[in-house]
Amino acid sequence: MEYAKNILETIGNTPLIKLNRLTEELPCLVLAKYETFNPGNSVKDRMALQMIEDAEADGRLKPGGIIIEGTSGNTGMGLALAAIVKGYKCIFVMADKQSKEKIDILKAVGAEVVVCPTNVEPTDPRSYYSVSRRLAEETPNAWYVNQYDNPSNCKAHFKTTGPEIWNQTDGKVTHFVVGVGTGGTISGVASYLKMKNPNVKIWGVDTYGSVFKKYHETGIFDHNEIYPYVTEGIGEDILPANVNFSLIDGFTKVTDKDAAVYTQRLAKEEGMFLGNSAGAAIKGVLQLKEHFKPDDVVVVLFHDHGSRYVGKMFNDDWMRKMGYIE
């Protein structure tokens, strides 16, 4: 018989899938690292499990402990699955711009969810960064995960996602393109791929309203770059320790409208029913067209599943209201 001992054993080893119609205008092969095949439907299962295992190993997380994290949903899902299997409780703090589906899904897997206002400074006591920190201090036997600065986040991608991409492309990958939030995915994959071949180019996809691109190009943390945006999962108004800027060759910014439109196009033209950051990522690849040559092998990572966006990017009334479609 062949079976996984529990749901956590099915994390990772996701397929690499060729894009066809959407990338017709590009000279090269474009392959999607398709992370919705993880059991929590996102790439975040990988780092959630790694963060828990490392915290168990060094005693930060004790038997029966309470896992506390600020999460837009996907990290929460990964943590919740691991918590169920391993016997922990979860409290998640989310910003109110996140889709209702994400909140309901976390509750469905047994987590308690606290919702905070989106448009306040990170240092404001109401922000989701501040609330998660405070809860972690006040709750007995709590462990504050802090995916932004937790090195196990990057490590998961160095240990699993990076080697998978290298092996699946027979070492032929020339470019890796991915949306950046905590930075764990880009930095972990980049450090592995650049270790194997320093010529592999690493591109981050950023949003308008986020600090990454300007910071990478100038070294200046520019507060004028920070304003509300719609795209979910990528972009930040802080500099997480997990973004290793020295490994990143460049950033491209994608508009909220393009990210939403390309999320729909991935579903309708490739049969890839994916989350909003996948739309941003594929538009980012198209924006980088001039950097690609015929023999290049471009890998773009798609973080999460479309089911979490049915009330938004897959709802034409919402798309019209936002002015994204006629």
Q: Does 72 bind ligand PMP (CB under 6 A)?
A: yes
Q: Do the Cβ atoms of 226 and 261 come closer than 8 Å?
A: no
- Residue 309 is encoded by which pair of tokens? 């966006």
CA distance 233 to 98: 9
- Segment near ligand PMP (CB under 6 A), from 9-17, 180-188, 249-257, 312-320? 180-188
- Segment near ligand PMP (CB under 6 A), from 89-97, 176-184, 222-230, 314-322? 176-184
Q: Do the Cβ atoms of 210 and 237 come closer than 8 Å?
A: yes
The smaller minimum CB distance to ligand PMP, of residues 65 and 240, is found at 240
Catalytic hit among 44, 102, 201, 213: 44
Q: Do the Cβ atoms of 274 and 267 come closer than 8 Å?
A: yes
Binders of ligand PMP among residues 275 to 294 (CB under 6 A) are 275, 277
Bridge partners of 142? Answer: 66
The smaller minimum CB distance to ligand PMP, of residues 88 and 148, is found at 148
Tell me the torsion sign for CA atoms 51, 57, 62, 64: positive
Closest CA to 155 of 241, 247, 46: 46
Q: Does 181 bind ligand PMP (CB under 6 A)?
A: yes
Q: Which of 33, 303, 305, 312 binds ligand PMP (CB under 6 A)?
A: 303
CA distance 6 to 66: 21
- Nearest to ligand PMP by Cβ — which residue? 233
> In this structure, which long-range contacts are made by residues 57-64, counting pairs with CB atoms below 8 Å and at least 24 apart in sequence?
60/143, 61/88, 61/143, 62/141, 62/143, 63/87, 64/88, 64/141
Q: Does 180 bind ligand PMP (CB under 6 A)?
A: yes
Binders of ligand PMP among residues 246 to 275 (CB under 6 A) are 275
Q: Which of 70, 184, 209, 284 binds ligand PMP (CB under 6 A)?
A: 184
Q: Which of 136, 260, 304, 305 binds ligand PMP (CB under 6 A)?
A: 304
The smaller minimum CB distance to ligand PMP, of residues 41 and 130, is found at 41
DSSP class of residue 24 equals T
- Residue 61 is encoded by which pair of tokens? 């997380």
Is 107 one of the catalytic residues?
no
Q: Does 179 bind ligand PMP (CB under 6 A)?
A: yes
What's at 60, amino acid-wise? Answer: R
DSSP class of residue 94 equals E
The smaller minimum CB distance to ligand PMP, of residues 82 and 186, is found at 186
Residues near ligand PMP, by CB under 6 A: 72, 74, 179-186, 233-234, 275, 277, 303-304
Q: Which residues are catalytic?
A: 44
